[in-house]
Amino acid sequence: MTTVVLVDDQDLVRAGLRALLTRGDTIRVLAEATDGRSGVAAARTYRPDVVLMDLRMPVMDGIEATRQIRADDRLEQVHVVVLTTFDDDADIVEAIRAGASGYLLKSTPREELRDAVVRAGRGERLLSPAVTERLMDLVSTGRATASPDPRLDRLSEREVEVLTRVGLGETNDEIASALHLSPATARTYVSRILAKLSARDRPELVVIAHRSGLVR
């Protein structure tokens, strides 16, 4: 069973989510919170598999709450999934940088939302199709100002090339073909880059490549 804490400042939204998620016996809602600060406290008290986090809330917003949860070593197994009505580019990027395991819109169909929560509880990373499209569009059009990332100094010239390809949205097989590597070697490079940059997953590498100016 997947355990969940709901964090949203609207009573009706929380009630609807509770009713939806607890239909059946695969998800259990342990607690609810009305702002980011109480959401962090609930995560520390109940240590759920998933925190379903709204973004725009009083006291503390969802991005800062996500950042605090992911920074707490005691909550290493807690996965934060942002669930919001906002698909703003900056929100998407900042949520990923804060450590969110997923970014879903409240327009997500009900069964897809239930499935996404269960998958997040297993440690899978989730982006709704609309959010994926926005993120890739943000990267490909270069709409944000690039800024130097000192972490790139840890990478070899070849690793920078691979990171650039990841930033373009290429798969490991496509990277291997473009750089004349074997698929296994491409996967190894991506794993090394994740470790060297202390990045959580591939979407964060896309953000790093974009923000550092490797991809415009």
Q: What is the CATH number of the domain that holds 102?
A: 3.40.50.2300
Q: Please tell me the distance from the alpha carbon of residue 212 to that of residue 84, in angstroms, as a whole number.
A: 27
Boundary (domain end) residue, out of 138, 159, 188: 138
pTM of the predicted model as reported, rounded to 2 decimal places: 0.64
The secondary structure of 5-45 as a DSSP string is: EEE-S-HHHHHHHHHHHTSSSSEEEEEEESSHHHHHHHHHH
What pLDDT, on a 0 to 100 scale, did the predictor assign at position 145?
A: 47
Residues 6+ apart with CB under 8 A from 168: 139, 140, 209, 215
Q: Domain containing 87: what range?
A: 2-138
Q: What is the CATH number of the domain that holds 202?
A: 1.10.10.10
In a shared domain, residues 89 and 187: no
Low-confidence residues of the chain: pLDDT under 50: 144-145
What pLDDT, on a 0 to 100 scale, did the predictor assign at position 213?
A: 79
In a shared domain, residues 83 and 171: no
Boundary (domain end) residue, out of 79, 111, 138: 138
Boundary (domain end) residue, out of 80, 110, 138: 138
Please list the alpha-helical segments (H only) found in 72-171: 89-98, 110-121, 129-141, 157-167
Q: 103 with 85: CB under 8 angstroms? A: no
In a shared domain, residues 171 and 134: no
Q: Please tell me the distance from the alpha carbon of residue 187 to that of residue 189, in angstroms, as a whole number.
A: 5
Tokens of 197: 């940059």
What pLDDT, on a 0 to 100 scale, did the predictor assign at position 140?
A: 53
What pLDDT, on a 0 to 100 scale, did the predictor assign at position 137?
A: 60
What pairs with residue 31 in β-bridges? 5
Q: Amino acid identity of 50?
A: V
Per-residue model confidence as pLDDT tens digits over 41-90: 999 999 999 999 999 898 999 999 999 999 999 999 999 999 988 766 66
In a shared domain, residues 27 and 133: yes
User: Is 216 contained in some domain?
Assistant: no
